[in-house]
Amino acid sequence: MALLLRSLVQRSAAVSSGSRCCLLYRHAVAMGTNAKEEMQKFTDKNSRLARPLSPHITIYSWSVPMMMSITHRGTGVGLSAGVAVFAVSALVLPGDFASYLSLIQSLSLGPALICTAKFGLAFPVAFHSFNGIRHLMWDLGKGFRMPEVYRSGYAVIALSVLSAIALAAL
């Protein structure tokens, strides 16, 4: 795939800016199937032949961008689950919100545990929000160079931790 793209780039460079890039595809023929159908055929063939899945996440070397990406997804799913549980509880459980808060207060959990719990709530929100901004910058086309990816990544981690600590201390 990389070789293909590289040869394409070389050909584009060879073609001067005056000529059309479509010279590459002068004899192009549109395929009868679309990409989704091709993928489905491939998936069906894999299940039919009972092909084993190649190791990927178990052997590939993890990087900071990879970990941040899956954490973004994990925090998103976790927060959604939390909101859903909260909403269903509001519908199903007896008593109002204040009664449950006084129940928690009566447990006398101690400030350390309460602060830790607040951090546990605040960090996913902070991380998902700051990394969300990073995603939106990518959607604008900015910050794709590798050093920029790492710099913005570390900035998101730092901001998330600091703001979560600040929120937990409130």
Coil, strand, or helix at residue 18?
A: coil
Q: Does 2 bind another protein (CB under 8 A)?
A: yes
Residues sharing a CB contact under 8 Å with residue 99, sequence separation 6 or more, in sequence order? none
By CB under 8 A, residue 18 contacts another protein = yes
| The binder of another protein chosen from 50, 53, 91, 112 (CB under 8 A) | 91
Choose the stretch contacting another protein; rule: CB under 8 A; options: 51-59, 60-68, 128-136, 155-163: 128-136
15 near another protein (CB under 8 A):
yes
The two three-digit tokens of residue 25, written as one number: 């595809």
80 binds another protein (CB under 8 A): yes
167, 129 contact by CB (below 8 A) = no
In degrees to the nearest 10, what's the CA dihedral of 149, 152, 154, 158?
-160
Q: Does 28 bind another protein (CB under 8 A)?
A: yes
Part of the chain binding another protein (CB under 8 A), chosen from 54-62, 63-71, 75-83, 157-165: 75-83
CB–CB of 72/131 below 8 Å? yes
